[in-house]
Structure 1
């Protein structure tokens, strides 16, 4: 391969990697001290690369559940209901792991779901889903912490 072709290839690789880092906010800080609980109707859903997403029309009257399933208890401390003045339609991004990609075909527009998400301390303050209860009652959770989680913004 000619040097000029290699330089172009390397330049494209760096550009793509930079765009991926900017999109995913690897420098973000997700607040584990204040997880948010949302309920609502799925307005749109995508379960492909780079990560699954659910757009939710939020039920602004939703209350915190009185009990959480055992797998979601780690999110109980500091859990707060989504505040309607923040937004009535939100996009929740899920980690790019198999259990969330496997929701393809199991979550559809019009389904009622409940979610627990962590909010990014940094703009644009996207939500990263940690737990979802599907319309059929199935629950999917990502437990444990990651390097991008902080305790308080």
Structure 2
């Protein structure tokens, strides 16, 4: 009977569906894995980024990433000479988690990430969410649809009725079709709750 509550908790606590990630400024990281944690819904890789980090001219597959049309330039180097935590979305977690050669301590990985907007004001502000991971001899893109990407964090922090600009017109909030489907998330939580209730009823009947 533990599975149902854990599923419900995971859906309600899943922060990726509620935050905004800046797609206008992609970041590039590469380094040696010093910590690897695999679990639902997110895996995390902590990597040690070399001080001489440079961005390669070619990054296979990035032109197909969600949010790519909002890029204002190529990815920029992030975390040179420091340790950084990479958050893997659920689909990448599932892909890598089942691989025999999934990244482990000592392995070299590279990633293109979007940073979560600091204006969210919660424990996840500034986290680096992987959009493309180069690891285990392959190219692994994020293919999910729940994450909200914006073309600038400052705009994302403004309310939808944004204050007028100098020209008198309201400043646009760059969310577009990437707004998270809150109704869908709520429906998912309700579905999980119903599933838990069904399990309880089934177990009660069996005990009679």
- TM-score of the superposition, structure 1-length normalised? 0.73
Secondary structure in structure 2 of the residue aligned to 1:73: helix
1:35 to 26, 39, 56: 26
Q: List aligned pairs for 1:97-112, cutoff 5 A.
A: 97=91, 98-103=94-99, 105-112=101-108
Output one character per residue of 1:118-152: Cα deviation in whole Å (capped at 9) or x when no partner. 10013531010111112x53111114764411111
Partner Cα distance (1:56, 1:132) in 2? 13
Q: Is the radius of gyration larger for structure 1 or structure 2?
A: 2
Instruction: Say whether residues 1:72 and 2:62 are aligned partners.
Output: yes
Partner Cα distance (1:104, 1:58) in 2? 24
Between 1 and 2, higher relative CO (CA 8 Å, sep ≥ 6) is seen in: 1
Instruction: Say whether residues 1:126 and 2:124 are aligned partners.
Output: no
In proportion to residue count, which structure has more helix?
2
Secondary structure in structure 2 of the residue aligned to 1:35: strand
RMSD: 2.8
The structure-2 alpha-carbon separation of the partners of 1:132 and 1:17, relative to structure 1 and needing over 3 Å to count, comes to closer
Q: Which runs of 5+ in 1 are unaligned?
A: 1-11
Output one character per residue of 1:72-126: Cα deviation in whole Å (capped at 9) or x when no partner. 2246743111143xx8111111111132433564211011111111100135310
Number of equivalent positions: 135
The structure-2 alpha-carbon separation of the partners of 1:17 and 1:66, relative to structure 1 and needing over 3 Å to count, comes to closer
Contact 1:60 1:82 in 2 (8 A): no
Contact 1:94 1:100 in 2 (8 A): no
Partner Cα distance (2:99, 2:107) in 1? 13
The structure-2 alpha-carbon separation of the partners of 1:31 and 1:25, relative to structure 1 and needing over 3 Å to count, comes to same
Q: List aligned pairs for 1:46-61, cutoff 5 A.
A: 46-61=37-52
Q: Which runs of 5+ in 2 are unaligned?
A: 154-208
Q: CA deviation at 1:68?
A: 1.5
The structure-2 alpha-carbon separation of the partners of 1:115 and 1:18, relative to structure 1 and needing over 3 Å to count, comes to closer
